[in-house]
């Protein structure tokens, strides 16, 4: 009796495994056929061969050479931003080491990034020094947030950037900045804008947790043409709306007109920018609390050139610069001498920037000659 039950149980297991094996063959046969055909030549497929007459890898080579692979559109970047401030008495060799970590999606027309990315990914040169001074661009060269950019014909573009500059804590104010920019280039004529919305909020444990709203819009129109030299002539405006919520809710709206003229050739450029109008940094020195304690904002609120808070209604910036790239853009050199005049005094500024691109594309299947 026991033998009969055992035999029936073994037969049941056998039938079960046979059925499972049949299902496996049925479901796996198309996969196996697909894999085998991936190694077949066009003739083998045309004549319905079950197995390849000779194994070929042409299909895989074509797949690797495909235009839109994941790694050609998507990139994960991990790096470090290291700064050494010459002349400081720090014991450490480097003054600061900060992370750069972001995801990037890129096609010929669309670029998107999220994380901690470098500001050279945006069209930073189109932002006037009324937005960011040269020192601000150098020291605050990492953006914490997101970037979205669309690039069109003739270098036209529109972009959006959100930069989270400070977290609400005992060490920092809550700060974030929204940046919008765009340019539309025609044959010689172009127009565009730059916009910044800065939210400068409170700090934990501060005597007063006030909030300042600062908006700056820079619309412009211009012409570009060549007459032995390359000329770029632009007219624009600096339109602001700003308020300190703890010291009245009224909006201050100081404005400036902008005239820019640039002539360049052989890497040399002469750039003149003339601004006429009001002091657009009315809250630079902040306020006084009821007990007389000063509450200054300074460059933390206004990271632009300090000459924009002139009370003489005029500011002129004249710069002579040289910019050149060498060795297929591996090494870049930029030297600049700038003179600033705000109606009361003349200041000069010198700058030398040498850049080396350590990350270079050694092999790219798209431009590899077969």
Read off the pLDDT of residues 212-227 as tens digits, 9 standing for 90 and up.
Answer: 899 999 999 999 999 9
When pLDDT is cut at 50, 70 and 90, the band that residue 343 belongs to is: confident
* Secondary structure (DSSP) of 214-265: EEEEEEEEEEEEEESEEEEEEEEEEEEEEEETBTBSPPB--EEEEEEEEEEE
Q: Are residues 54 and 119 in the same domain?
A: no
* 259 or 98, which is more confident: 259
Count of the separate structural domains present in the chain: 2
Q: Are residues 11 and 135 in the same domain?
A: no
- 120 domain residue, yes or no: yes
Nearest Cα neighbor of 348 from 356, 339, 359, 361 is 339
Has residue 367 got a pLDDT over 70?
A: no
Cβ(255)–Cβ(238) below 8 Å = yes
- 114 domain residue, yes or no: yes
Q: Are residues 221 and 142 in the same domain?
A: yes
What is the span of the domain harbouring residue 136? 76-306
pLDDT at 58: 62
Q: In this prediction, what percent of the chain has a pLDDT beyond 90?
A: 35
- 52 domain residue, yes or no: yes
Q: Are residues 194 and 293 in the same domain?
A: yes
Q: Are residues 86 and 49 in the same domain?
A: no
pLDDT at 66: 43
Q: Are residues 55 and 85 in the same domain?
A: no
- 323 domain residue, yes or no: no
- 335 domain residue, yes or no: no
pLDDT at 157: 92
Q: Are residues 145 and 258 in the same domain?
A: yes
Cβ(273)–Cβ(316) below 8 Å = yes
pLDDT at 30: 64
- 187 domain residue, yes or no: yes
* 153 or 64, which is more confident: 153
Q: Are residues 25 and 162 in the same domain?
A: no
pLDDT at 93: 75
Determine the Cα–Cα distance for residues 162 and 354; give it in Å rounded to an integer: 28
pLDDT at 205: 76
- 318 domain residue, yes or no: no
Sign of CA dihedral 355, 95, 92, 82: negative
Q: Are residues 183 and 243 in the same domain?
A: yes
Has residue 314 got a pLDDT over 50?
A: yes
Q: Are residues 13 and 102 in the same domain?
A: no
pLDDT at 275: 94
pLDDT at 19: 62
pLDDT at 64: 45
Q: Is 153 helix (H, G, I), strand (E, B) or coil?
A: helix
Q: Are residues 51 and 162 in the same domain?
A: no
* 258 or 355, which is more confident: 258
The overall average pLDDT reported for the chain is 81
Q: Are residues 141 and 46 in the same domain?
A: no
Has residue 270 got a pLDDT over 90?
A: yes
């Amino acid at each position: 009796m026991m033998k009969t039950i055992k035999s029936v149980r073994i037969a049941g297991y056998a039938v079960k495994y046979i059925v499972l094996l049949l299902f496996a063959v049925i479901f796996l046969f198309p996969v196996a056929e697909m894999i085998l055909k991936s190694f077949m030549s066009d003739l083998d497929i045309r004549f319905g061969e079950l197995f390849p007459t000779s194994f070929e890898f042409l299909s895989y080579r074509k797949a690797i050479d495909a235009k839109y692979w994941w790694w050609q559109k998507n990139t994960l970047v991990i790096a470090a931003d290291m700064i050494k401030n010459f002349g400081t008495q720090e014991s450490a060799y480097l003054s600061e080491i900060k992370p750069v970590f972001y995801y990037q999606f890129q096609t010929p027309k669309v670029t998107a990034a999220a994380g901690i990315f470098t500001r050279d990914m945006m069209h930073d040169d189109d932002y006037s020094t009324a937005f960011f001074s040269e020192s601000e661009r150098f020291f605050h060269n990492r953006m914490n947030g997101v970037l979205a950019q669309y690039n069109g014909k003739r270098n036209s573009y529109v972009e959006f950037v959100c930069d989270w500059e400070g977290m609400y804590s005992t060490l920092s104010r809550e700060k974030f900045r929204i940046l919008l920019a765009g340019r539309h280039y025609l044959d010689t004529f172009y127009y565009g804008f730059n916009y910044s919305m800065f939210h400068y909020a409170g700090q934990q444990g501060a005597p007063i947790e006030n909030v300042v709203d600062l908006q700056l819009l820079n619309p412009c129109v211009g012409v570009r043409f060549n007459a032995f030299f390359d000329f770029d002539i632009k007219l624009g405006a600096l339109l602001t709306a700003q308020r300190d919520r703890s010291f009245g809710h009224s909006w201050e709206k100081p404005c400036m007109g902008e005239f820019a003229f640039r002539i360049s050739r052989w890497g040399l450029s002469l750039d003149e920018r003339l601004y006429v109008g009001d002091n657009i940094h009315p809250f630079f020195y902040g306020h006084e609390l009821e007990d007389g304690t000063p509450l200054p904002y300074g460059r933390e609120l206004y990271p632009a050139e300090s000459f924009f808070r002139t009370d003489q209604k005029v500011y002129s910036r004249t710069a002579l610069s040289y910019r050149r790239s060498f060795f297929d853009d591996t090494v870049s050199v930029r030297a600049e001498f700038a003179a600033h005049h705000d109606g009361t005094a003349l200041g000069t500024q010198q700058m030398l920037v040498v850049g080396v691109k350590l990350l270079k594309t050694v092999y790219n299947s798209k431009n590899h000659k077969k």
